[in-house]
C-alpha cells in the first residue's frame, strides 16, 4: 500500500467525544480492527450471506440496502464519517442478513468481526458505554424516523431531512436519496427546484 | 399499598439472561427505580413534554404513539414484559418528545429518570453492557422493520408479525394492532378470518 499506516485518530476522537473519556491505548484498540480502503460502488456485505462484520466509516459514505420484491434497490440506512453500520440483529446473532452494504463514495473503513467485537468489549469496558450510547441514539432515531414516514407528506419528509442533514443532501447521489425517502428521482428533482 | 414490596426479581433475571452475569445487589440496583402500578389506558408520558423517564415493563403492555396530522393515533412501538420503552433520543437529550406512552393493559412498571439512569450506569458497569445489548437489538429490529414496511404487502406484514409474535397478536386490542401495522381495523379483521 502507498498509504501510511492508519493511526486510529478518528475512532479515538469519536470515542472521547461520545464517552467523555480518552482511549488509553489506541494502538491496542486498533488491533481488533481491519483498516481498508474501498472503491465507489464496492459491496462489502452481500445480502443472503452470514453477517459477521461491523463497519466504522473513517472517510466516505456507505449505504445499507435491499432489493425489493419488484427487483428495485431500496436504501434503508446511510453511514457517513464516524457512523457504524451493519445489520445489527443479524450481526449479533451471526445470522444471514437480508441487507447488502455498499460504498456510495470511495471510502475508508474499519471493520471488526463478531468474535473480535466480543473480545474488544471484554478488553475495553469503555467500549460497552460507547456502543450503548451509539445504539441508544440509533434506536431512538429509527423510531422517530418511523413516525416521520407515517406522518409527513413526501415533501415534508424531504424538507425535514434537508434541514437536518444539509451536507448530506448535497453529497449523496440523488437517485439514492430518492430511494431512501421512498420517492421517485423525478419527484425529488421537482422538490429541489421548488426550494431554489 | 396492598401489594408486597417489589423485589426486582424480573429485572434481575432479565439482566442475568442478557449479560450472562448475576446482579450482586438487586436491592441497591432497585433504589434507582420507582415501582408503580398503572391502570389500563393511563398515560405515563405526555406528548409535547420533556421526556425524562425510561420505563421497564414488569407486567402488562405499554405502547408509544403519536397523533398524526389528521388527528389519528398511530402506534409506533409496543412494549411487553421485560421490554424498555421511551423516546430514546428525547430521553438522552432531555428534550420534548413527540410521542406519548400509555398502558394498553393494567401494568406494573419500573421507571427511572434521566439523572438516576446516569447514576445507575456509573454505579453498575454491568448495566452499560446490558443496555448496549438491549439497544443493539432494538436498533437492528427497527431497521429490519423499515425494510418489511417498504417491502411487504399489508397482508404479508400481518402474517409475518403473527408468526413472530403469536401471543402478542392475541393479546393486543385489534384496533391498536391495526394502527401499528398501518391498516384499518376492518382489513385486519378480514385478514384474521382468512387465516382461520
Q: How many residues does chain A have?
A: 196
Entry pTM = 0.94
Would you state the cell numbers that stand for residue A16, as one nine-digit string? Answer: 472521547
CB atoms closer than 10 angstroms to residue B20:
10
Q: Which residues of B touch A98 (CB under 8 A)?
A: 144, 147
- Is residue A93 located within the same domain as residue A119? yes
Tell me what pLDDT residue A190 has: 92
Residue written as cell 400509555?
Answer: B102
- Is residue B141 located within the same domain as residue B156? no
For residue range A97-151, list pLDDT tens digits in order. 999 999 999 999 999 999 999 999 999 989 999 999 999 999 999 999 999 988 9
Q: How many domains does chain B have?
A: 2
- Chain A, residues 61-100, CB within 8 A of chain B, namely 64, 66, 68-69, 74, 76-77, 87-92, 98-99
H or E element: which one contains B86?
none
DSSP string, A80-115: -TT-EES-HHHHHHT-B-S-EEEESSSEEEEEEEHH
Tell me what pLDDT residue A150 has: 87
Give the model's confidence band at A182: pLDDT under 50 very low, under 70 low, under 90 confident, else very high.
confident
Q: How far is CA B135 from the centre of its chain?
A: 12
Torsion of CA A13, A17, A21, A22, to 10 degrees: 10
Q: What is the ipTM of this complex?
A: 0.94
The answer as to whether B24 is a domain residue is: yes
Which structural domain range is residue A178 located in?
Answer: 152-196
Tell me what pLDDT residue B195 has: 64
Tell me what pLDDT residue A195 has: 64
> What are the residues whose beta carbons fall under 8 Å from the beta carbon of B159, sequence distance 6 or more?
B191, B195
What CA–CA distance (Å, rounded) separates A182 from A75?
Answer: 9
- Is residue A117 located within the same domain as residue A161? no
The answer as to whether A126 is a domain residue is: yes
Tell me what pLDDT residue B6 has: 87
Residue A4 has pLDDT above 80, yes or no: no
- Is residue B65 located within the same domain as residue B109? yes
- Is residue A53 located within the same domain as residue A106? yes
Cα→Cα distances B79→A146, B56, B65, B76, Å: 16, 9, 12, 10
Taking the Cβ of residue A180 and every Cβ of chain B, the question of whether any pair is shorter than 8 Å is answered with no
- Is residue A193 located within the same domain as residue A127? no
Amino acid at each position: 500500500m502507498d498509504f501510511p499506516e492508519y493511526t486510529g485518530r478518528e475512532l479515538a476522537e469519536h470515542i472521547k467525544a461520545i464517552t467523555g473519556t480518552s482511549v488509553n491505548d489506541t494502538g491496542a484498540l486498533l488491533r481488533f480492527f481491519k483498516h481498508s480502503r474501498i472503491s465507489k460502488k464496492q459491496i462489502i456485505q452481500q445480502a443472503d450471506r452470514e453477517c459477521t462484520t461491523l463497519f466504522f466509516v473513517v472517510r466516505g459514505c456507505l449505504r445499507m440496502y435491499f432489493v425489493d420484491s419488484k427487483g428495485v434497490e431500496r436504501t434503508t440506512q446511510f453511514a457517513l464519517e464516524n457512523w457504524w453500520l451493519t445489520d445489527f440483529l443479524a450481526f449479533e446473532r451471526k445470522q444471514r442478513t437480508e441487507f447488502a452494504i455498499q460504498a456510495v463514495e470511495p471510502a475508508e473503513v474499519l471493520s471488526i468481526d463478531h468474535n473480535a467485537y466480543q473480545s474488544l468489549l471484554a478488553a475495553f469496558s469503555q467500549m460497552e458505554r460507547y456502543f450503548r450510547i451509539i445504539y441508544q441514539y440509533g434506536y431512538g432515531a429509527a423510531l422517530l424516523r418511523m413516525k416521520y414516514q407515517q406522518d409527513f407528506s413526501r415533501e415534508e419528509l424531504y424538507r425535514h431531512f434537508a434541514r437536518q442533514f444539509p451536507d448530506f443532501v448535497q453529497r449523496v447521489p440523488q437517485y439514492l436519496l430518492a430511494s431512501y425517502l421512498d420517492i421517485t428521482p423525478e419527484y425529488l428533482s421537482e422538490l429541489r427546484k421548488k426550494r431554489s
